[in-house]
Amino acid sequence: MITDININKPAPIVTGQQLELFHSTTDIKRTIKGLEAGKPVLITAFYSNGLLLLKELQNYLKKKLPNQTFQEQRVFRAAYQKLSNLILIEIVGHKLIVKKSPAIGWLEQLYAETTDFLLPFPQVQGLNSAWQWYQNGISIPVLRNKLHPYYGTYFPTRFDHLVLFDNWLQRYKGTKKSAIDVGVGSGVLSLLMIKHGFQKVFATDTNPNAIVGLTEFMGETKLSRKLELSFGHLFGAWEKPSELIVFNPPWLPEPNKITNLDEAIYYNQNLFPEFFAAAKKRLLPNGKLVLLFSNLAQITEATQEHPIEKEIAEGGRFQLEKCLKRKVKSSSDKTKRDLDRRAAEEVELWVLTHS
């Protein structure tokens, strides 16, 4: 099953057209005007020239576009993404050909069938960061061992909701024969449940990289006998009811007029109704449904509707057993606006049972 999955990766670009070249003495303003006109540009000589152009592009857009409110920041990021992905860099023999480039193992692992191609510079930056995380591992406070997240797989960079879940699992008194983890990502919630004694966890994800990455991570270890994976929407192939279902959904509603959405961050209007309908069929009579969520959408004024509260009030499928909340820790490197928002932010752990 795993070998049939196509991994998500930046699409290699093979072009025969003549590209504008960019190096340290190129006119930056003229280059940015060309990007706005839709003309791709190729970074030459040094890797740092790509970093220089990206920085100048950011500065240009900050002067041109308001970047204060949450909605304005979304528009700014969309404009930056569109133009920055026209900045290309060349790969030959699975290596970046500009000088003083990082060595990125993903270029060989993900593009075994193509040795020479172009990629957008921001995508190469992403591949480089992902390679460092994959090689060096990431420490998660509630786990014993480091995670080694596969390319293109969501992993947590904030941990308050994980601490909340870890504390809840410590006090969990139910049976621990099986659990279902919907949207497994890099596997943190599944690993936590196994740490706390669950015999079997059935996990799903719509992201093929999450399934491939966790399969590789587990290998032939004991973990592979405790964690089973299914590539698919919501519950994937898992039909058998379980005593615990866990879901850490996206925390923000899908914005309008923004494309290339990250499904780990934004949810569409159908996600929660579909999830609750499917969960109703798969939760054992005395089972518990646990959702990890946040009030982020409300404090950023993305919406006033809380999808879990709405289900409890109107769905007729589940009732509230308890809701635990935890203040989010402040971050010193944020703007005052972000600090004010962070001060009001809480992560939530909702425990629901059959109504």
- Is residue 221 within 8 A of residue 242, CB to CB? The reply is no
Amino acid (1-letter code) at residue 283:
L
The pLDDT assigned to 261 comes to 46
CA distances from 245 to 32, 166, 206, 283 (A): 49, 15, 17, 7
Instruction: Tell me which DSSP letter residue 139 carries.
Output: -
pLDDT band at residue 337 under the 50/70/90 scheme:
very low
Q: Is the dihedral of CA 159, 296, 66, 119 positive or negative?
A: positive
Amino acid (1-letter code) at residue 95:
K
In the three-class reduction of DSSP (H, G, I as helix; E, B as strand; rest coil), residue 334 is classed as: coil
- Is residue 229 within 8 A of residue 204, CB to CB? The reply is yes
Q: Where are the alpha helices (DSSP H) in 87-227?
A: 106-110, 121-136, 160-171, 188-195, 208-218, 223-226
The pLDDT assigned to 341 comes to 59
> Could you tell me the domains of the chain?
2-134 (no CATH), 160-354 (3.40.50.150)
- Give the gyration radius of the chain's Cα atoms: 22
Tens digits of per-residue pLDDT, 148-188? 999 999 899 889 999 999 999 999 999 999 999 999 999 99
Q: Over range 127-151, report the average pLDDT.
A: 95
d(CA 343, CA 332): 12
DSSP string, 17-69: S--EEE-TTS-HHHHHHHHHTT--EEE-SBHHHHHHHHHHHHHHHHHHS---S
The pLDDT assigned to 295 comes to 87
pTM (2 decimals)? 0.86
pLDDT band at residue 89 under the 50/70/90 scheme:
very high
Check pLDDT > 90 for residue 140. yes
pLDDT band at residue 307 under the 50/70/90 scheme:
very high
Phi, psi of 234 (to 5 degrees): 50, -105
The pLDDT assigned to 303 comes to 81
Helix axes 47-64, 121-136, angle to 10 degrees: 120
Q: Over range 326-346, report the average pLDDT.
A: 65
Q: What is the dihedral of CA 228, 230, 235, 237, to 10 degrees?
A: -100
Phi, psi of 282 (to 5 degrees): -110, 5
d(CA 294, CA 347): 4
Check pLDDT > 90 for residue 262. no
Q: Over range 297-305, report the average pLDDT.
A: 82
The pLDDT assigned to 2 comes to 52
Q: pLDDT higher for 92 or 339?
A: 92
Tens digits of per-residue pLDDT, 316-325? 999 999 999 9
Q: pLDDT higher for 75 or 313?
A: 313
Q: Over range 137-155, report the average pLDDT.
A: 93
In the three-class reduction of DSSP (H, G, I as helix; E, B as strand; rest coil), residue 253 is classed as: strand
In the three-class reduction of DSSP (H, G, I as helix; E, B as strand; rest coil), residue 242 is classed as: strand
Beta-carbon contacts of residue 328 (< 8 Å; ≥ 6 apart): 158, 160, 294, 342, 345, 346, 347
Q: Is the dihedral of CA 96, 97, 103, 106 positive or negative?
A: positive
- In the chain, what is the straight-line distance between the N-terminal and C-terminal CA atoms, in Å? 37
User: For residue 351, what are its two tokens?
Assistant: 């425990």
**Over the chain, what is the mean pLDDT?**
90
Phi, psi of 215 (to 5 degrees): -60, -45
